Amino acid sequence: MLAEEMGIGDKLKQRATDLSQGEKQRAAICRALLPQPRLILADEATGNLDPENKARILDLLFRAVEDHDTTLLAVTHDHELLKRFDRVVDFKVFKKAGD
């Protein structure tokens, strides 16, 4: 079960107000992965997670990419995560329109 893999299987019957920010974030990722989307837009998907859960979530996201031919577009400020991606675009290279 995906919730078990996310480490929140024991939280399924709890109210959202009783969950930590990291648990809420993992629940949101779980909901996003359930329908096996063709495109995952992940904006700071690991921002509220400890290192162990961060690695777990990245593994699950990359597994979705491989298993379901999914495209993952992620935004992060965590430079340690960048080495796990095949392609990285640094937004510093972009300029505002009109510049």
Q: What is the pLDDT of residue 98?
A: 62
Model pTM score = 0.77
Name which of 59, 36, 37 is nearest 45 in CA terms. Answer: 59
Q: How far is CA 54 from the centre of its chain?
A: 8
pLDDT confidence of residue 96: 67
Judge whether 57 and 6 are in contact, CB under 8 Å: yes
Measured distance CA(33)–CA(47) in Å, rounded: 18
Give 52-73 pLDDT, tens digit per residue.
989 989 999 999 999 999 999 9
The CATH homologous superfamily for domain 2-86 is: P-loop containing nucleotide triphosphate hydrolases (3.40.50.300)
